[in-house]
A and B are shown apart, each in its own frame.
Chain A
Amino acid sequence: EVQLVESGGGLVQPGGSLRLSCAASGFTFSDYEMNWVRQAPGKGLEWVSYSSNSGSAMYYADSVRGRFTISRDNAKNSLYLQMNSLRAEDTAVYFCAREGYGGNQFFDYWGQGTLVTVSS
């Protein structure tokens, strides 16, 4: 059974940093591209970042580029999101999502999400 479990969310002050993790199981992690998607309270889905299966290619939303860094450790079956210079508008539930095999930008499995709150 495919499972994605996020962790690392919490309350952080503006300007602070946080590192999210996503532990994957039930599939060959190194074969799949992975993404982070977030959802602010009461708002819609917002794509955040993409990692190729090897980790060599990464893409970011304009809203986080230069502040967030996606990475992965295929030996540990884990995906990460390092978030720096956090702003109030980064407050959201962050989901990790597996990209369907073939890379046609659809997300076939999602984690339960981890809440990040940026507030003083």
Chain B
Amino acid sequence: QSVLTQPPSVSAAPGQKVTISCSGSSSNIGNNYVSWYQQFPGTAPKLLIYENNKRPSGIPDRFSGSKSGTSATLGITGLQTGDEADYYCGTWDSSLSAGVFGGGTKLTVL
């Protein structure tokens, strides 16, 4: 059972938009920055979004992040088949004094 809650799967058609939610509490998302990672099978995760809504160099602006209260959202527009991957949210939990991740969301581009 992960501290952060994500939907197990989402799907959408190529060219469409999808959002992935990440729900937490005041001890984690509510008072700390959220980051998002993309992971393809058999590879290391890749940073997509940091500090809630910032994109590292090289990440296209099709990817966006937002946070409101104790929830965060990853948005992906102009979906491509190459976006099919697992997506994870992460943050720090001040009560646990530990890093925490969501359980991951598998994106299918139909």
Binding site for B on A (CB under 8 A): 35, 37, 44-47, 50, 59-62, 95, 100, 104-113
- Is B101 in contact with A44, judged by CB distance below 8 angstroms? yes
With a CB–CB cut-off of 8 A, which chain A residues contact B46? 110
Q: Is B110 an interface residue (CB 8 A)?
A: no
Q: Which residues of B contact A113 (CB under 8 A)?
A: 44
Let me know if A35 and B45 touch, CB within 8 A: no
In the assembled complex, which residues on chain B have CB atoms less than 8 Å from the CB atom of A95?
Answer: 44-45
How would you classify the secondary structure of chain B's contact residues: helix, strand, loop or mixed?
strand
Q: What does the 1/0 interface line of B68-110 toward A look like (CB < 8 Å)? A: 0000000000000000001010111000111111111000000
Closest A residue to B96 by beta carbon equals A62
B71: shortest Cβ distance to chain A, in Å? 17
Q: Work out how many contacts link A and B, with CB atoms closer than 8 A.
A: 70
Which residue of the partner chain, among A106, A108, A109, contacts B90 with CB atoms under 8 Å? Answer: A106
B residues within 8 A CB of A112? 43-44
Give the docked Cα–Cα distance between A95 and B91 (Å): 17
Contacts of B97 in A (CB 8 A): 59
A108 in contact with B47 (CB, 8 Å): yes
Task: Give, as a whole number of angstroms, the nearest-CB distance from A38 to chain B.
Answer: 11
Residues on A with beta carbons closer than 8 Å to the beta carbon of B86: 44
From A107, A109, A111, residue with most partner B Cβ within 10 Å: A107
CB<8 Å pairs between A and B, sample of 24: A37-B99, A44-B86, A44-B88, A45-B37, A45-B88, A45-B101, A45-B104, A46-B101, A47-B98, A47-B99, A61-B99, A62-B98, A95-B44, A95-B45, A100-B50, A104-B32, A105-B35, A105-B90, A106-B33, A107-B47, A107-B90, A108-B50, A110-B46, A111-B44
